[in-house]
Structure 1
Amino acid sequence: MRFIIVLIGVVLFACTPHKEESNPVNDFPSNSNDLATKVAIDTADLLDFHYLINSVGKIQSPSSIVMRCERGGIVENVFVEMGDAVSKGQILLKLNNENLLLEREKAELKLNQAELEFDNVLLGFPSLTSKQKLKQDSLMVRLRLGSGLREAELALKEINLKIKDSEIRAPFSGIIYDRKISNGSYVNSGDELLSIYQKSPLLLIVTLLENEALLLSKGIKVEVKPTGFAHQKVQYGYINYINPNVNEKGLVEVGIILPSPGKELILGMNAEATIKVPNGKRLLVPKNAVVIRSGKEVVFTLEEGLAKWNYVQTGVDNGVKLEILEGISPKSVVITSNNLQLAHDAPVEVEKP
């Protein structure tokens, strides 16, 4: 009985067909009777490749200053609002200076009295006939000091400087922000009044990984737009500096100048920078031309109406295009849609644009 069972087992094993090792291409056999699959196509070309680096940072101004009070007093008039554009030298606000004007009158009176006293003193020195020519003469200097003229001149000059400080003027043309005072406010010396920044150019500061920063150089063109505004107009800048220091987080600071920022970009705004780093010519295909089949990267090419399966080796990508290191040749027509389930030698039909 045991012999019969063993014999039956041997016969069954001999009659069972053996499965050959599968070929990934044969996993999807062609069928010439199938209807043609509609596909989109593109061309594998040797093109200038740009490595894309994206980062988000904040808009700053290379020229921004906090205006502070030089002396204490009451704010008499504020002539600007936040967001106002001002010109260099324009009066921004004025402190009450009634007391200073009174002090100036007194100083002018003392100066007149000192000049009279000085003229009387000169009567005793007929040789000193020209005060202008001999102003630096040692005797003349002593006489001016003795008459009180020099002291009166300095006192008036000091009062005029204080009156000048009561008018706060724009140090450069720019935009007003962070106004902290209003009419009637009392301020002390050193208090913040308002701030002003130069509208053009602006500076976008971003931080990049050190391996990304090493790809950059000054002058590379950069696309910039505010974050969260998908349809916002793209503005252009260029890399102004690359800080030669990696911080504790492994990041490098990069400054991007925006020479002609539009009104959409304002101080402190979050903005996204897209940096296109030139990286030579590469054989490129659209990213959606590459599919994963049997764990490997595959590109289907179009040849005489049939889809041809090609194993490829890919390199870098920039989010849009993908580098092909080997597997297809330049000018190959590659299939970019409906290629996930295509079979080798499957009939295809190119969709009209």
Structure 2
Amino acid sequence: MDHSKRLFSWLYGSAKKPNLMGVILGIGSLLFAWGCQTKGENPASDARVALPTPVNTVRGFSLEKTTFQEELYSNGKIVSVSAVALHTQQAGTLARLSMANGQRVRKGDTLAWLNNPAIIEQYHQAEAAYNLSLLDFEDILLSRGYALKDTAETPADVVEMAQLRSNYNTSLSQYRLAQQQRNQLWIVAPISGTLGDVKAVAEESQPAGTQLGAIYNLNAMGVRFQVLEEELAQVQLNQSLVIKPLARQDTLMGEITRINPKLNEYGLTEVEGLLKTTPHWLREGMNAEITLVQPVPNQFVVPKSAVVQRQGRNVVFVYMQGKAQWVYAEILHENRRSLAIRADPGR
């Protein structure tokens, strides 16, 4: 048996029992040969595709001196410029109460009444004593030939004598004091605004000095925030403020109205500002981001992206004579968007 017959016999075996492994190897060899031939027949498929070269576009601008807006950042709270706490001036039971959070009130509105029988009785007694002394005073003047309505023309010594004998001055003083104490049983709105922090409960006994709530004038709002001791040199009265309440995307404008000259134990001082406009959604106690703006004139101002680092130094690229050349720069001022620079005198 020659070699070809032996190979055929190994691949396919006998007719009754073919060699399966041999058949598989044979088919694989044929496929490999066909693939090599196909690849050789298409040399163009091996050619590399040339990609376009990317072009970097650089935007330039003329550098001229302008005003740089130096910024100082802080966090604070929205506050009512006109806010008054409502306290009881006398002890008593809240017999009448007309107070609720969010309630709009006008100056002079009666909000609550305290029932204090002792003060009321004292007032009635003082009133009676005053009326009696007034009758005695008039009787003494009439006995001297003068009328009460003509005290301006009555001799001063006669008027003084009548007041002493009738106990008029003492009873008048006691009556006025009792009247004042009685009036203090009424809680009256001292300003117009919106009620808040209401803690009063009807029919509860309240000692003198208890805070029942507060009135906030939401038509005049401001901000209160703190700055560090080393930042005080950048803060001054009437300085512009940019206020961004954290709960909104709105930006509000304002200006500084008060600077506390005293630092606390943490080296912070309190600053207050007034908003130029008061939106209806603004509320007492809102958290806000506050930016203090201080104009610095005659500065070379560039975007932050125009300054890059080279060899550990700040560099700006300047276009001169058809070429971009770098120039070492010194940063004088910085805010969130831009820088005020000058040529580095050390390079």
Output the TM-score relative to the length of structure 2.
0.68
Alignment of 1:89-100 (within 5 A): 89-96=108-115
1:326 aligns with 2:343: yes
Structure with greater proportional helix content: 2
Q: CA deviation at 1:274?
A: 0.8
Q: Contact (CA 8 Å) 1:135, 1:141: kept in 2 or not?
A: no
Percent same amino acid among aligned pairs?
A: 26
Q: What letter is aligned with 2:181?
A: K
Structure 2: how far apart are the matches of 1:151 and 1:194? Answer: 37
Aligned residue for 1:53? 72
Structure 2: how far apart are the matches of 1:248 and 1:112? Answer: 59
Change (3 A) 1:44 1:243: farther
Query: Tell me, what secondary structure is at the counterpart of 2:298?
Result: strand
Structure 1: how far apart are the matches of 2:174 and 2:272? Answer: 48
Q: Contact (CA 8 Å) 2:315, 2:328: kept in 1 or not?
A: yes
Output the TM-score relative to the length of structure 1.
0.67
214-223 or 59-68, which deviates more:
59-68
1:176 aligns with 2:192: no
Structure 1: how far apart are the matches of 2:239 and 2:125? Answer: 63
Q: Contact (CA 8 Å) 1:78, 1:183: kept in 2 or not?
A: yes
Q: Contact (CA 8 Å) 1:200, 1:258: kept in 2 or not?
A: no
Q: What letter is aligned with 2:231?
A: E
Change (3 A) 1:318 1:120: closer
Structure 1: how far apart are the matches of 2:129 and 2:229? Answer: 68
Change (3 A) 1:192 1:117: same
1:241 is matched with which residue: 258, 261, 267? 258
Q: CA deviation at 1:220?
A: 1.6
Aligned residue for 2:291? 274
1:43 is matched with which residue: 32, 56, 61? 61
1:65 is matched with which residue: 69, 84, 87? 84
Query: Tell me, what secondary structure is at the counterpart of 1:161?
Result: helix
Q: Contact (CA 8 Å) 1:200, 1:259: kept in 2 or not?
A: no
Q: Contact (CA 8 Å) 1:296, 1:311: kept in 2 or not?
A: no
Q: CA deviation at 1:294?
A: 4.5
Deviations 1:159-182 (A, max 9, x none): 432332122112223332222212
Q: CA deviation at 1:187?
A: 1.1
Query: Tell me, what secondary structure is at the counterpart of 1:127?
Result: coil
Change (3 A) 1:289 1:199: same
User: Where in structure 2 are there 5+ consecutive unaligned residues?
Assistant: 1-50
1:308 aligns with 2:327: no
1:86 aligns with 2:105: yes
1:255 aligns with 2:272: yes
Cα RMSD of the aligned pairs, angstroms, is 3.5
Structure 2: how far apart are the matches of 1:105 and 1:121? Answer: 25
275-284 or 291-300, which deviates more:
291-300
Change (3 A) 1:319 1:130: closer
Larger radius of gyration: 2
Q: CA deviation at 1:42?
A: 4.2
Q: CA deviation at 1:241?
A: 3.4
User: Where in structure 1 are there 5+ consecutive unaligned residues?
Assistant: 1-32, 328-353
Q: CA deviation at 1:301?
A: 5.3
